[in-house]
Amino acid sequence: MEEKSFNMPLLGDSFPEMTVTTTHGEKTLPGDYKGKWFVLFSHPADFTPVCTTEFVGFQNRVNEFDKLGVELVGMSVDQVFSHIKWVEWIKEKLNVEITFPVVAANDTIANKLGLLHPGKGTNTVRAVFIVDPAGKVRLTLYYPQEIGRNMDEIVRAVKALQISDNNGVAMPANWPENDLIKDKVIVPPAKTQADAAVRLEKYDGYDWWFCYKDL
């Protein structure tokens, strides 16, 4: 029996180029978002309870994403007609207007992103791709169909990536509410013995390899 290939972009890879049909018309990914951060998230199916809560959750945080200069893009293998009707239903029944585009993917597109997991049926899994202005995949998340995502974590992750890029620092667990260093950021470890010897004179820290500072 011929094995089916399973592909997914790895961290640091270029987001796969594709032309897609969306509720906002045809788009090219990642080309149409060149110079911008974007978050593409897939959902298993339209007109399902968990996915509906997720779409409302993302929409309710659009202003937060806007402040970060981040565009949202939804995706599933449902047809665009289904997407349009579902978005209309959300506005009519829940009084929430979905303002971001929703991609109508086919199996070829879904397989480029590793969204069709053989053990989870024919619907796309709940995936999240955070893509930077250079079109590079910086973070991926995969959730099963039965668990909805935490939108606040996705906002936090984008913010953390941007701060890390702009300041050359790392972010501790649960930043900005870390158990040890609160909202401070981690300074990269010393790379020479000379630097290590004076590191604690320059920064607060537990040791030369674990120093931190305010933003």
What residues act catalytically? 51
46, 86 contact by CB (below 8 A): yes
Question: Residues 6 or more apart from 142 whose CB is under 8 A from it?
Answer: 114, 125, 126, 127, 128
Helix axes 49-59, 80-94, angle to 10 degrees: 70
Place of tokens 């300074």: 187
CB atoms within 10 A of CB 39: 23
Q: Is 184 helix (H, G, I), strand (E, B) or coil?
A: coil
The β-bridge relationship of strands 18-22 and 102-104 is antiparallel
Distance CA 179, CA 1 (A): 51
